[in-house]
Structure 1
Amino acid sequence: MKTVLIPTDFSDNALHAIEYAMNLYKCQRTHFYFLHAYADEVYGPFKKNNGASFEQQKETIKKNTDKALQSLVDQLREKWHNPKHDYDKVSAFESLVDAVNDFVQEVNVDLVIMGTKGQTADKKITFGSHTVQVFKYVQCPVLAVPENCEYQQPKKILFPTDYMLPYKRRELKLLNDLAAEFKSEIHCLYISDFDVLSDRQIDNRRFLRESLPNSFLFHETTPVTNKAEAILGYISQHDIHLLVMVNSRHSFLEDMLYRSTVDEIGLHITLPFMVMQNLPR
């Protein structure tokens, strides 16, 4: 059984991500956990609490959170009534990143699925600040679903890489299982400033071939100055349905996240974006 965690702020974007998750795992035994972290709601309005104590404010917001989560679960059961799915709700008096990380470790979550923006996010951007923080720091694969993305089976998956990372078996198994479920093609797009592979890169490429044996297609690019443009160009040319990248220290995804190049992708991307973590777990 797969274990999937879905953080929600009860926005339309969060609901859209939930709908995507229900479709993605429609035919698989899956345990869904719906999490709402409410620490910001307690601390944010505390100065305007009309005389209520901190504990009263905290308890009120917790009750409202539990009620909203139960309503969400009831609606999903009524709409989907899928015997393969189990639902649980989680309310946490923590920041979003801390709440997600703690729960990932507690129940050994396979995948986090979330919207790309929350209730107050700028309409001009694709990835809100909370989503980027989860990409960076949560030690679990994360799938972000843009609000304008309609569900379609991920028949073509793009996996850009420079072969510099020692990939983790668990994360690659998740990708391989997803490809096997939908009989998908995984397009490995090699992006680098160098034409010749090092011994380390050759070993990592071999490991990828062995870990993803039945669905891997290799493509190489000439050296590029803008990796985001290369990725977007490939997505457009090959009708890609899912973008997958690896987050690790010194990876070019980390460069994108810290240098805001992810916003450059976000201006144009309309497909789901999965970030696999090459971090301790």
Structure 2
Amino acid sequence: MKTIIVPTDFSETAYNAARYALGLAGQMDTSRIVLYHAYELIVPIPEVPTTVPMVNPEELRAASLEGLEKMKRELLPLLPDNASLETRAENSLLPAQIDQLCRQEEADLVVMGITGGSQLEEILVGSNTVDVVKHTTCPVIIVPSAARFTPIRKMVFACDFRKVVQNTPVQPLKKLLDVFRPELHVLNIDHDSKHFTSDTPYETLMLDTLLEGYNPQFHFIDHTNVVQGIMDFAVQQEADLILIIPKKHGLFEHIFKRSRTTQLAFHTHIPLLTIHE
């Protein structure tokens, strides 16, 4: 794993994610960590009144670079040997720029934070993180504000066993599994077998075949709430990482939905790895 990108807004949540990324870089033998700040310059629309004060673009960029250098100085003592810590600032929207940035930097992984603080923080920081996941094909690790780095030894792969061959990103998944070599637990949550079909045994066999060599352990658990079931299982197993494959109208949306029963992604201490299908 050559390069990790760490988007930052200079919040404590972002600093925590950066510290996690540096710990991860040590385990992954990463050579580059890029701290990235996307600042958005507000452009006035002619003949439309605004109360937002105008900002000099050069001053905005200078402030961004200053923030990045301060963050770099504070993180340098945690930098693994033989790794470099670089900075990059751009006038852009992070979700719109992230995929191009990953290609330019030849990134293997994006690491960024998500907050478990106030409702406003969850909306602002949470939605930005979710938008990044939706707009990049690069694997993303989402680091909850309560998470502290521990080496990835045990991973829970939450799977719905639907069109496994078509939907599983085999190459990036195996690339990460080869780095971590974790104890791998494949988890399916259902209730009263509502989603169990005649294809489920076949799909399970296909996933087992795709994961040949990684010794996956399969678990089928009955729970009325999928997200709660995943989190409970991950905590019980003392997992270091939860893996999901984002799909439209799938598990990822359920995890980040703004309801009382599915806010767990904002409050769990276990980081979440997303790899696009």
Aligned match of 1:219: 219
Instruction: Assess if the C-alpha contact under 8 Å between 2:146 and 2:268 holds in 1.
Output: no
Equivalent pairs, count: 265
1:245 and 2:244 correspond: yes
Distance 1:186 1:11 in 2: 33
What amino acid is aligned across from residue 263 of structure 2 in structure 1? Answer: E
1:186 corresponds to which of 184, 206, 215: 184
What amino acid is aligned across from residue 73 of structure 1 in structure 2? Answer: K
Alignment of 1:1-281 (within 5 A): 1-27=1-27, 28-39=29-40, 42=42, 47-49=51-53, 57-77=56-76, 79-117=77-115, 122=120, 128-164=126-162, 165=164, 166-180=167-181, 184-192=182-190, 193-198=194-199, 202-203=202-203, 205-211=205-211, 213-222=213-222, 224-257=223-256, 263-266=262-265, 268-278=267-277
Structure 1 position 236, deviation (Å): 2.9
Deviations 1:128-165 (A, max 9, x none): 22112122222221111111112222222111101214
Partner of 2:80, secondary structure, is coil
Distance 2:255 2:272 in 1: 14
Instruction: Assess if the C-alpha contact under 8 Å between 1:246 and 1:276 holds in 2.
Output: yes
**TM-score (norm. length: structure 1):** 0.81
Distance 1:109 1:73 in 2: 19
Structure 1 position 9, deviation (Å): 0.7
Partner of 2:13, secondary structure, is helix
Instruction: Assess if the C-alpha contact under 8 Å between 1:125 and 1:267 holds in 2.
Output: no
Instruction: Assess if the C-alpha contact under 8 Å between 2:144 and 2:267 holds in 1.
Output: no
**TM-score (norm. length: structure 2):** 0.82
Distance 1:210 1:48 in 2: 54
Deviations 1:30-85 (A, max 9, x none): 3111110101x6459x8443xx6x6xx211101111122123223333x1353321
Q: Answer with 98-107 or 2-11: which moved more.
A: 98-107
Label 1:35 to 1:217 Cα distance change in 2 as closer, same or farther (>3 A): same
Query: Structure 2: which 5+ residue stretches go unaligned?
Result: 45-49
Instruction: Assess if the C-alpha contact under 8 Å between 2:153 and 2:240 holds in 1.
Output: yes
Instruction: Assess if the C-alpha contact under 8 Å between 1:114 and 1:143 holds in 2.
Output: yes
What amino acid is aligned across from residue 217 of structure 1 in structure 2? Answer: Q
Instruction: Assess if the C-alpha contact under 8 Å between 1:190 and 1:220 holds in 2.
Output: yes
C-alpha RMSD of matched pairs (Å): 3.1
What amino acid is aligned across from residue 249 of structure 1 in structure 2? Answer: K
Distance 2:238 2:140 in 1: 22
Q: Answer with 143-152 or 205-214: which moved more.
A: 205-214
Query: Structure 1: which 5+ residue stretches go unaligned?
Result: none
Identity score, percent:
23
What amino acid is aligned across from residue 10 of structure 1 in structure 2? Answer: F
Label 1:205 to 1:95 Cα distance change in 2 as closer, same or farther (>3 A): farther
